[in-house]
Amino acid sequence: KMQNEIIKPAKYFSEVEKSVLLALVEKYKYVLECKKSDARTIALKQRTWQALAHEYNSQPSVSLRDFKQLKKCWENIKARTKKIMAHERREKVKRSISPLINTHIVGKEKIASIMPEQMYFLQSPPEEDSEYQPDASSQGINYAVMMQVVLLCILLIFMLIQLHLTLRSFIKILQVTYGFSLTGCVKVLLQAQPPKFRCPLTSVYIHFSLLTPTIALELFQQSPRELCDEDKELVHFPVCEGTSQPEPSCSDVRIAADKNYRSKASQESALKKMHEEEHHQQMSILQLQLIQMNEVHVAKIQQIERECEMAEEEHRIKMEVLNKKKMYWERKLQTITKEWPVSSYNRPFPNSP
């Protein structure tokens, strides 16, 4: 009975045990929290959990747990965190947060950061716009961002209808003014302005404030005065007010366009200026694309490094097992040679009666 009590692990995970588990899950989160479920990924997850359990059990001051227990514990932690953060969000909406709830789970932001796509809609809304920083380190498809893209596309279609543009002419404008395709434009828009994901309207209107003068000149031949009014209408869309700071360059262009189109005499110089600005825009977009590419490559290298670490760990475990086996057989061989030296090979077998 005593032995059983010693071997039997503590029923509850202590804070130390939880922090050890959390650190290990954080370490392997790219495998464990991967949403893919094909045979290869599932097998990899299984092996990773086993490796994690091995690593966990080799830590001091933790009781022995198998990987299923650890996995379940992590699921419970996730579920609790989600529940609490959802509750917090509801409370925040009601503007009455209990301080007790806030401190209930220590490091819940850390837990949430391991599974950002699961927590996106449960996180508390930002206090100030400047505080909102999307997790740049999170990899894979962010479904929330995908939703924003879909919304953005719907919004674009509505705006096209509003401006009496056909899709074909809109794409042509994009090609003429920016020199790249519609998809490229949306992509750059999203990549260039991550803090504005929560306010797609702002981004769209900033872009349109750039586009509108060109639209008028190149396609519709409207009077600059009319266009200026239209532009102003777009720029003063209520959602933009106080939600986020517009890009300085965009703002400059907008102001420049606004001023220049008020006078017919300065139209040509304004055009030139516009083209210059557009050129600058193109260059900055290219720069952003380069930065993005750079980031992708760095992330890829980090991912490979992590995979290397895991492979090394797996290799180390295998080597340990093999060495133990080797030692076992060597010992056995020693025992046999002691009992049965080569000189006395015709002696009867020791265990035989």
Q: Which stretch binds DNA (CB under 7 A): 11-19, 196-204, 206-214, 246-254?
A: 11-19
> Between residues 49 and 197, which has the closer beta carbon with respect to DNA?
49
11 binds DNA (CB under 7 A): yes
Residues that bind DNA (rule: CB under 7 A) add up to a total of 25
Given 13, 28, 208, 261, the residue binding DNA (CB under 7 A) = 13
> Between residues 71 and 207, which has the closer beta carbon with respect to DNA?
71
Q: How far is the CB of 77 from DNA (least distance, A)?
A: 7
> Between residues 12 and 329, which has the closer beta carbon with respect to DNA?
12
Per-residue tokens: 296: 């992708």
Comparing C-alpha atoms, which of 65, 30, 64 is closest to residue 45?
30
Per-residue tokens: 67: 């990987």
Q: How far is the CB of 62 from DNA (least distance, A)?
A: 12
112 binds DNA (CB under 7 A): no
Q: How far is the CB of 25 from DNA (least distance, A)?
A: 12
> Between residues 79 and 153, which has the closer beta carbon with respect to DNA?
79
Q: Give buried/exposed letters for 58-79 (b at 16+ CB in 10 A, else e).
A: eeeebeebebebbbebbeebbe
Binding residues among 16-55 for DNA as defined by CB under 7 A: 18, 32, 36-40, 42, 45-46
Direct distance between the N- and C-terminal alpha carbons of the chain, in angstroms, rounded to an integer: 38
SS3 150: helix
> Between residues 23 and 290, which has the closer beta carbon with respect to DNA?
23
Comparing C-alpha atoms, which of 221, 214, 232, 225 is closest to residue 261?
225
Q: How far is the CB of 32 from DNA (least distance, A)?
A: 7
> Between residues 27 and 80, which has the closer beta carbon with respect to DNA?
80
Query: How many CB atoms are located within 10 Å of the residue 315 CB?
Result: 10
> Between residues 11 and 338, which has the closer beta carbon with respect to DNA?
11
Q: How far is the CB of 41 from DNA (least distance, A)?
A: 8
Q: How far is the CB of 275 from DNA (least distance, A)?
A: 48
Query: What's the count of helices (H) and strands (E) in the chain, helices before strands?
Result: 15, 0
Query: How many CB atoms are located within 10 Å of the residue 282 CB?
Result: 14
Q: How far is the CB of 107 from DNA (least distance, A)?
A: 13
Q: How far is the CB of 197 from DNA (least distance, A)?
A: 22
Binding residues among 68-107 for DNA as defined by CB under 7 A: 69, 71-73, 75-76, 78-80, 82
Comparing C-alpha atoms, which of 97, 161, 91, 160 is closest to residue 122?
91
Binding residues among 201-230 for DNA as defined by CB under 7 A: none
CA distance 108 to 281: 41
Binding residues among 278-317 for DNA as defined by CB under 7 A: none
Question: Residue 247: is it exposed, middle or buried by C-beta count within 10 angstroms (0-12/13-18/19+)?
Answer: buried
Q: How far is the CB of 92 from DNA (least distance, A)?
A: 19
> Between residues 119 and 199, which has the closer beta carbon with respect to DNA?
119
- 11 close to 71: Cβ distance less than 8 angstroms: no
Query: How many CB atoms are located within 10 Å of the residue 209 CB?
Result: 23
Site string for DNA, 118-137 (x = CB under 7 A): x-------------------
Residue 97 makes CB contacts below 8 A (sequence gap 6+) with 88, 91
CA distance 200 to 202: 5
> Between residues 18 and 198, which has the closer beta carbon with respect to DNA?
18
Q: What is the DSSP letter of 106?
A: T
Which residue ranges make up the site for DNA (CB under 7 A)?
11-13, 18, 32, 36-40, 42, 45-46, 69, 71-73, 75-76, 78-80, 82, 115, 118
